[in-house]
Amino acid sequence: MGLLDAIGDAAGAVADKVGDAADAVGDAVANVGKGAMLMVAEKEIKEITGMDITVDTEDIPSDWNDWIMKTGVNSLCTKGSWTFLGNERKEQIWKERGIDKIVMKVKTEVEDDERWIECMPEWEEGSKTLYLVWYPRAGNWESSNTWIEPGYKRWWNLADEISFGLQLYQLEGKCFYKSDWLENFEDDDPDSMFGGSKEYKRWFQFRHWIIYWYPQAMWGYNWQWVQTPPELPNGDLFNLDSVLSCPSLPDLTMPKITLPSLPDIEMPSLPDVSLPSAPSISAPSLSAPSLSAPDLSNLSAPSLPTAKKHPEGRWSAHGFIELKDMKVKADGKDVIFSNCTIHKFWKLENGSIDVEKLDGKRYVLGTTSNEQAESWKETLMASGVEEGDAGGCCVVA
């Protein structure tokens, strides 16, 4: 190696060191700036809510740091994200949750049916930490200034997301519609080849005449008790076909079901939703079969069965429960559904949806409080379900 080469290598090494040092200083400055802005968010939240809540970040990609310091923090500082505190019921539950930390995260890889999401809340019952996960779509709306800088600012109003994540939508007593997470639901294990099951938290959506369950939370269908059916979640006027339909599964042909009696509701004329008549069954031929020995030379090992799969998609229902002949009981924080007729949805290889009907099923499901267990009981009883426990074993759903 010549002298000039050696000098060149040494100069390059020095440049690399200087570059690394500059990057380190830049990162440190950015971290100090981010830390300062998180403190600004804590101060604003304190002024709005009266609570000391730590604000932090976790796993933020480098190209999102500026967005978090500006748009992300602005979204926590704006009063629009805390308007739910004007609702007495929601404020009561907010205080019960006792949140003392909010952590912002970023999800960069999303599925096609998640691309409309800006921010998804994550919270586990009993936890004092609320996670707010920003999705790529949120990055399309960006602020040029931080909360403490003069000039034009942008933000996202997070009132709905915070309310939804902390389950502040929970209503007490009798409800016309009721939707919420319920724990300990025995659902089919997608990784099992032989029909195994696991306990899952599932989203139950009660639409006054039918209960759907989903793997993910769904908006809408929470409404205090009224005599006249309210508008549908999309703003359309009430109609029973829409309430019973499952738009997340366009290929599904809904089976006909029997509705319970609803004496306390001012009902419009109802479509035919009675059970179809049973088909006629002819007796098979009982003539004796041939008893000649079979040819066993070409026997092969049987193939493993194909695991059944529920419909794919984040927002697809996995099935529904009929109300007729069902019983309900509140037991502490648990609500017990028994003598249930359930319909499970399966996706076939050709893309169509098959419906499997099972009778006499029983579930012991966990709510967040004794109050919520009682609310589920009162709500279902108002729709014709009898109080009680028919017994039986908890089953796969």
Lowest mean pLDDT among 156-160, 184-188, 299-303: 299-303
Q: Is residue 170 part of a domain?
A: no
CB atoms within 10 A of CB 203: 18
Does 182 lie in the same domain as 154? Answer: no
pLDDT beyond 70 at 272: no
List the one residue out of 363, 344, 364 whose CA is nearest residue 355: 344
Does 265 lie in the same domain as 216? Answer: yes
Does 311 lie in the same domain as 183? Answer: yes
Q: Give the pLDDT score at 322.
A: 93
Does 314 lie in the same domain as 247? Answer: yes
pLDDT beyond 70 at 278: no
Burial of 178 (0-12, 13-18, 19+ CB in 10 A): buried
Lowest mean pLDDT among 116-130, 171-185, 226-240, 259-273: 259-273
Q: Give the pLDDT score at 349.
A: 82
Total tally of structural domains belonging to the chain: 2
Lowest mean pLDDT among 7-11, 78-82, 333-337: 7-11
| pLDDT tens-digit map of 291-313 | 344 454 554 545 545 667 888 77
Q: Are 166 and 130 in contact (CB under 8 A)?
A: yes
Give the DSSP letter of residue 69: I
The residue out of 140, 165, 190 marking a domain boundary is: 165
| pLDDT tens-digit map of 346-358 | 988 887 888 999 9
Confidence of residue 273 (pLDDT cuts 50, 70, 90): very low
Confidence of residue 40 (pLDDT cuts 50, 70, 90): very high
Does 192 lie in the same domain as 159? Answer: no
266-271 long-range contacts (CB < 8 A, ≥24 apart) are: 266/227, 266/228, 266/229, 267/229, 268/229, 268/238, 268/239, 268/240, 270/240, 271/240, 271/241
Q: Of 250 and 288, which is predicted with more confidence?
A: 250
pLDDT beyond 90 at 253: no
Does 38 lie in the same domain as 17? Answer: yes
pLDDT beyond 70 at 382: yes
Q: Give the pLDDT score at 5.
A: 53
Phi-psi region of 183 (alpha: psi -120 to 50; beta: other; left: phi over 0): beta
Domain around 258 = 175-273+307-387
